[in-house]
A and B are shown apart, each in its own frame.
Chain A
Amino acid sequence: MVGEEGWSRYANIMGLGVFIAIIVVFGLIETIEPFGLRFRDLTGGMITFDTLIRIGILTIVVVGLNLLMGYAGQISLGQAGYYGIGAYVSAILCTMAPRHHLLPGISDTWWWPWLVIVVAMLVTGGFAYLIGKPILRLRGMYLAMATLGLGVVMYTVFREGGGLTGGHDGISGIPRLSIGNFTFWPIERYYWLVWAVAIAVIIIGLNVINSRVGRGLRAIESSEVAASTMGVDTANYKVQIFVLSAMMASLAGSLYAHFQALVAPGPFGFVPSVELVCMAAVGGMASVWGAALGVTFFFLVKEVLRARMHQLLGVGGEYELIGYGIILILVMIFMPQGLSFGGAKALEWLRNLKVFRRAGDKETEPRAEQAV
């Protein structure tokens, strides 16, 4: 729909370039502090550097969700649960293991947390695989609700896990990540790490979509029957992408744990899961770029509304969600395919306007009847 093979590849590489450039510029501003200005000064105090890191972390989750929802056509309302598994596995193994001298000589090295991140991803992936097999037989709403149920179950386990998960208070004292003596902290350093991972995940997402696997998934989304008669093993692919998206969420969760140094159940419940789906939907479900866009949009609206509402109404708290809810509804009514789709349309329009326009084929572009 969006464009031609060559063109979209070109656009993706271009997009990636621009995207990386923006990330680098933001990072440099914070690191160098030109004219003594830090990032938050430039945005009138509304967007802090901290927010940028959160955007990066959640982008990783939403890229996975986007692959699942936009390309495999499967909804997950429990994604925050996988995010939580990553966070809790990292938190538990990076605090308890050294404390209780588990695996001495390993659990106190600098590379232990990195190993744990991989372990967490494998644990989450394995769990998603076991769950995914039966659950992905369900369709549409039923799948949504089953994943929702799963998410709530995971959340409850985090909250009620007693000594292991620390209950409501969670686990604190999670160490920073480091390579040898180089620690990814203070925050500017962590920024580079998070965004490097996020960009890697985006690239992986783009690669998957533009591959044999991705085409199979998109085929499932367009017509599951036709896809299967072309030899695409739909059930298997759904499970694979379910696992991949869970692993991405887990990776992000680990990064969150090492960023916050504290893991409590709050960010892994039902509402965060819903927010993640909303980010994916607002950004555009059939677009990896939509993930970054959706997360950014979500945070900007939230932060700006929070700041503005505070000024206008003199109130703080959850109120900014009024605006967020309304914007969400409006986007879904008027741009159901999301912001990135709107952006892609605009791009296409521009392209038709200038360079690529050929004589003759502009007038009538017969549209085929909608296949049933």
Chain B
Amino acid sequence: MGGEVAGNAILEIGDLKKEFGGLIAVDDVSFDVQRGEIFSIIGPNGAGKTTIFNLISGVLPTTDGEIKFEGDVINGLKPHVVAGLGLSRTFQNLQVFNNMTVLENVMVGRHLQSSYGMMSAGLRLPGGRREEKEIIDRSMEQLAYVGLDSMADVGASSLPFGQQRLLEIARAMATEPKLLMLDEPGAGLNRPEKEDLDALVRRIRDSGVTVLLVEHDMAFVMGIAERIIVLDYGEKIAEGTPEEIQSDPEVIAAYLGHEEIRVI
């Protein structure tokens, strides 16, 4: 384990690159995420934000570059190994487990915090049952944390959209991550829901979890993020505090350019 790292960076991305059959989705992107901050990656649609998440979490293999988590190189590791290191995420296009209840969804998040296996499960051995109780208790706590505890026994697929987003956050938090990666958590939410989300993300950060956020709602990000990088066509075009980003001409140009296309 890397342990103490200079500058207290929890995540270090160096010259990260991803090609899809000749198309460069992420082009030599570098940035560091500091422990305990809310860091955001923004950029227009198709800028490569979600791809970066997929690379960090091990869902996609990298083409080139380096991803370090707590000082250790993690690219090439399988997603479940990455998750075991303390890195958890949500998905832009919701990946709630539709065939389970809300509570069970969060219980999957406790997977790595428990260990009993097939044998113990099939025969309901006492060790497994003890763990199971622990899993349920902790999962209920997570549900309460995001305000979904009253929905515990509801089928996850019948939750409204906004609550499914919260469920994904609860599920990710159940893994007890050191770094939580939220992929467009605000997409599809209305104003009051976004305000709740804002408060929730701050609470998560205050509990000591570093938050890496992908968003394209500028207003939301500017209010919450401490540092931001901006991607356009897979390249990093700016990095800084919200104030710096808002006044960066290149960022404005990138957004305006895309805004026009979207209007048409």
**B-contacting residues of A (Cβ < 8 Å)?**
1-7, 204-205, 207-208, 211-216, 218-219, 221-223, 225-234, 240-241, 244, 286, 365-369, 371-372
Contacts and interface: CB of A to CB of B under 8 A. Distances in A.
A231 B94 contact: no
Please indicate which of the listed interface residues A5, A286, A369 has the most CB atoms of chain B within 10 Å of its own CB: A5
A366 B80 CA distance: 32
Contact of B83 (A212, A218, A230): A230
Contacts of A368: 94, 96, 157-161, 164
Interface in B8-48: none
B118 to A, nearest CB: 5
For the complex of A and B, list the 5 residue pairs with the smallest distance between their C-beta atoms, beginning with the closest.
A4-B153, A211-B121, A226-B95, A228-B79, A231-B112
Given A207-B121, A228-B78, A234-B80, A218 B111 contact: no
B108 A232 contact: yes
B123 interface: yes
A287 to B, nearest CB: 11
Contacts of B121: 207-208, 211-214
A231 B109 CA distance: 8
B79 A225 contact: yes
Contact of A204 (B123, B152, B161): B123
A227 B108 contact: yes
With a 10 A CB-CB cut-off, give which of B95, B128, B152 has the most chain A CB atoms: B95
B74 interface: no
Interface of B: 57-59, 78-80, 82-84, 88-89, 91, 93-101, 103-104, 107-112, 114, 116-118, 120-124, 128, 131-132, 135, 152-155, 157-161, 164, 171-172, 175
B152 A5 contact: yes
Contacts of B93: 371-372
Contact of A5 (B84, B101, B117): B101
A231 B84 contact: yes
Given A1-B98, A365-B158, 5 more contacts: A212-B107, A215-B111, A226-B96, A230-B112, A232-B111
23 contacts: A3-B101, A7-B153, A208-B118, A208-B121, A213-B121, A214-B121, A222-B100, A223-B95, A228-B79, A228-B83, A229-B58, A229-B83, A229-B89, A230-B83, A230-B88, A230-B175, A231-B83, A231-B111, A232-B108, A232-B111, A241-B118, A368-B160, A371-B98
Nearest to B88: A229
Contacts of A233: 78, 80
A212 B135 CA distance: 9
A287 B32 CA distance: 47
Contact of B118 (A240, A369, A371, A372): A240
A211 to B, nearest CB: 3
Contact of B100 (A215, A231, A234, A369): A215
Contacts of A204: 122-123
B157 A367 contact: yes
B160 A218 contact: no
A2 B104 CA distance: 13
B99 A218 contact: yes
Contacts of A234: 80
A231 B80 contact: yes
B122 A207 contact: yes
Contacts of B112: 230-231
Contact of A211 (B59, B116, B164): B116
A1 B93 CA distance: 20
A51 B95 CA distance: 44
A368 B120 CA distance: 35
A229 B79 contact: yes
Contacts of B83: 228-231
B80 to A, nearest CB: 5
A213 B118 contact: yes
A51 B156 CA distance: 40
B96 A371 contact: yes
Contacts of A6: 153
Contacts of B108: 215-216, 219, 227, 230, 232
A244 B118 contact: yes
Contacts of A214: 121
Contacts of B88: 229-230
Nearest to A71: B99
A5 B153 contact: yes
B118 A230 contact: no
Nearest to A215: B108
Contacts of B107: 212, 215
Contact of A216 (B89, B99, B111, B155): B111
B111 A286 contact: no
A5 B132 contact: no
Contacts of B135: 212
A232 B103 CA distance: 17
A216 B107 CA distance: 9
A214 B128 CA distance: 13
Contacts of A221: 99
Given A207-B124, A212-B114, A218-B97, A5 B80 contact: no
B116 A212 contact: yes
Nearest to B107: A215
A4 B103 CA distance: 9
